[in-house]
Amino acid sequence: MADGHHPGSRPGTGRACLSPPVDCFDGKIVAYTAGFGPNAEPANRMPEEAASTLPGNARPLVHSDRGRHCRWPGWLALMERFGLTRSMSAKGCSPDNAAAEGFFGGMKTEAVHPEKWEEHTRNEVLALVDEYIRWHDHERIKQSLGWMNPVQYRQSQGMAA
């Protein structure tokens, strides 16, 4: 999995923070946490949310950026508690976290930039993020998946979506 904690500006409401672990197998968003303001709450909820979607014997590698929060001892303890192994990008090398960076790049061009986020309430922003992630996983086709979306691809491989 790859994870990124990308903030976005929201005038008058603080920063929007999204922490979506991306499955490197097919690009599916495993789970996601979101919140507002300069706090670590979304990133702290992510390990449990991601782990809750995995079979009991899974021990995935979670690749993250070098953000301050990804080095915080409390976050590292959460990763360990939920059986997730941390991996970090090399300094200044965003391609190391390509799955998450690719997801955020797509979201910015397909959802964020066309929208005027400052015209929406916090709840509306969260609903738009939820709608985009649902569309990304269930409708957005990818050439690398044989022109299927991640859910279809998993089903074609005999996996639970």
pLDDT, one tens digit per residue, over 114-156 is 667 777 788 888 898 999 999 999 999 999 999 999 999 999 9
Tell me what pLDDT residue 154 has. Answer: 96
Tell me what pLDDT residue 7 has. Answer: 47
For residues 132 and 68, what is the distance between their CA atoms, to the nearest angstrom?
A: 27
Q: Which of the residues in the chain have pLDDT under 70?
A: 1-14, 38, 113-115
Closest to 130 in 3D by CA, of 32, 13, 28: 32
What predicted TM-score, i.e. pTM, was given to this entire model? Answer: 0.82
User: Sheet holding 85-88: strands in order across?
Assistant: 2-3, 61-64, 85-88
- Sketch the domain layout of the chain as residue ranges: 2-156
- Residue 113: beta bridge partners? none
Tell me what pLDDT residue 12 has. Answer: 47
For residues 49 and 82, what is the distance between their CA atoms, to the nearest angstrom?
A: 9
The single-letter DSSP state of residue 159 is -
Tell me what pLDDT residue 4 has. Answer: 57
The DSSP bridge pattern shows strands 33-36 and 16-19 to be antiparallel
Tell me what pLDDT residue 9 has. Answer: 44
CATH superfamily assigned to domain 2-156? Ribonuclease H-like superfamily/Ribonuclease H (3.30.420.10)
